[in-house]
Amino acid sequence: MMMLHGKGVAPGAAVGHVFIYNKNYDIPAESFILSGQEQAHLNRYFSVKKQALEELEKIKVSMLKVDSAKAAIFDAQKEIVEDIIINEEIPARILNERWSGAWAVYQVYETVLNVLRNTPDPLISERAADFDDVRALLLKIWYGQKTEGLSNLPEPVIVAARELLPSDTAGLKRDKVLAIITEAGGITSHTAIIAKSFGIPAVLGIEGLLNSIKQGQLVAVNAEEGTVIVDPKDDVKKEFLEKSGVFNRERQETEGFLEKEGRTACGTKIEISLNISSSNDEELKMQSFTDSVGLLRTEFLYMEHNKLPPEDEQFYSYKKILECFNEKPVVLRTLDIGGDKQVPYLDFKREDNPFLGNRGIRFCFSNRDILKTQIRAALRASVYGNLWILLPMITSLDDIRNAKKIIKEAGNELKKEGIKFNDVKTGIMIEVPGIAHIADLAAQEVDFASIGSNDLCQYLCAADRMNETVESYYQCYHPAVFRLIKTAISAFNDAGKSISICGELGNDVKAVPVLIGLGLRKFSMGAASIAAVKKTISGLTIEKAQETALHVLGLPTAEEIEKYLELI
């Protein structure tokens, strides 16, 4: 019996036999073609490229049924297939240097991958996995190999791999995967995202994993502790089977709360809103289980194209969402790019620290026409529902007033054109500590606010949430995080204005009681978290939540807060 250690990224436990997954594809040898064969290889490349785009679209559609935010991964991969530089280089190598098509695909992508892998910026280096995934897809299609990934597992297994890429897990069936264990990957990796979406226990970052296990070997996984036991003894096997059974029963019980209302045991209504990233029907069907759209990420309109989306296209997308939710509020966040979200066709200057750079509302202020077009489209759509406009990366009252001025200008333009629109509520993201500290002043300027806990935490802790090397410094339970959130909630409650939370802390069932105790009455989250949060709320009273919050505010460290919340 041997114990391996990693990082638990999705809760649960499991016992089962290992299926070692290797993403094999034929690596072409350096090869050249005869004169006159160039066009045939070029035509073959364009055919393979077309098939790859079709395959990625199929995968994206299937992923929409699980979590539309994760489906965006495959839109990003489609952009890689269409990358302008790559699609200049591959044909050039075939036509000018007579490289075989397969060798051209492999080598051109390898050149890009070498640059990405060696960059010190983790935001850029993490993109290497997507380029590697796309290259594998292209070569498998070239050689006529299946691209089914983990979609056809014959029986329930524990999947072990060096790393799982998006296409590997796209067709994954929840009932055939007991747990996932990998050598690479952290809390922000594709594997972690997928595991959480499916509710599959996962332990990642296990050093030497594939040298320590064999195909078919029995292992026990405890994702709560981040451990994997190889060849467990009978008593350990029994213990883990019991843990797995408890986990699965609790998961089924939790799923039963999806259709219930968000209400505490003492009868207080807690609004449960939905974070969405598209106007896809699969995502919109969740409207019947929620009170509103708490966050409409409009970036999908910009990231799925090779040029800026025109006003009419934006209008029809917003209109569809507003009509679906009818009188329920739809909180539309204006374009929030920069930092970890880049749009290839927009000219972003390289920044040493993009999270502190020209992102969110700052980018929109420096590109007023882009923001104006979006606001016009949103206002036009407002007559079809209950639209609220949310402004990201606000740092001062000057930002608020500048944005409101642009909204007013857009409205005046529509009036002159005889286009009807409704009055809309205007709100801000509270994700920068500076605006949180003057939340009382901000509440006099806007109608509502939404706490973006992910960025608020990274700015407070001075730790890039996408950088695994400083992962331990990104402390979402840091006392300063809860204290500053309390400041913001109190300010907006005192002003009689709505305030919600839309970051990861808001769907963390350990943090939910604290947030309610601090006065929060509205949460917004992805579809996968709704049932669990409703279940947590149903077991609370306001009095108990307030006691919990008061105790947390008195604790001095993130570790002590987390231990306390695990015990209550």
Which amino acids are annotated catalytic?
Answer: 190, 502
- Cα(42)–Cα(98) distance, integer angstroms: 10
- Cα(306)–Cα(83) distance, integer angstroms: 10
Q: Which helix (H) or strand (E) holds 531?
A: helix 530-538
Question: What own/partner pairs with CB < 8 Å and gap ≥ 24 does 342-347 have?
Answer: 343/299, 343/302, 343/303, 344/79, 344/83, 344/306, 345/305, 345/306, 345/307, 345/308, 346/308
Phi, psi of 75 (to 5 degrees): -65, -40
- Cα(158)–Cα(179) distance, integer angstroms: 5
Tokens representing 391 are: 């402004």
Measured CA angle at 328 (ends 324, 333), to 5 deg: 85
The DSSP symbol for 269 reads B
H-type alpha helices, 281-335? 281-284, 299-303, 311-325
- Cα(426)–Cα(445) distance, integer angstroms: 9
In contact, 206 and 4? CB cutoff 8 Å: yes
Helix %, strand %, coil % of the chain (to 5): 50, 15, 35
In contact, 381 and 311? CB cutoff 8 Å: no
Tokens representing 496 are: 């009689």
Q: Which helix (H) or strand (E) holds 398?
A: helix 397-416
Tokens representing 94 are: 């075939």
- Cα(199)–Cα(457) distance, integer angstroms: 25
SS3 520: coil
Amino acid residing at 241: L
H-type alpha helices, 419-478? 433-437, 439-442, 453-461
Phi, psi of 222 (to 5 degrees): -120, 95
The partner residues of 500 in beta bridges, in order of sequence, read: 450
Tokens representing 161 are: 């791999």
Amino acid residing at 374: Q
- Cα(126)–Cα(260) distance, integer angstroms: 39
Can you point out the beta strands (E) in 232-374? 271-276, 292-297, 329-333
Q: Which helix (H) or strand (E) holds 351?
A: none
In contact, 420 and 426? CB cutoff 8 Å: no
The DSSP symbol for 419 reads -
Amino acid residing at 377: A
| Closest to 354 in 3D by CA, of 230, 253, 466 | 466
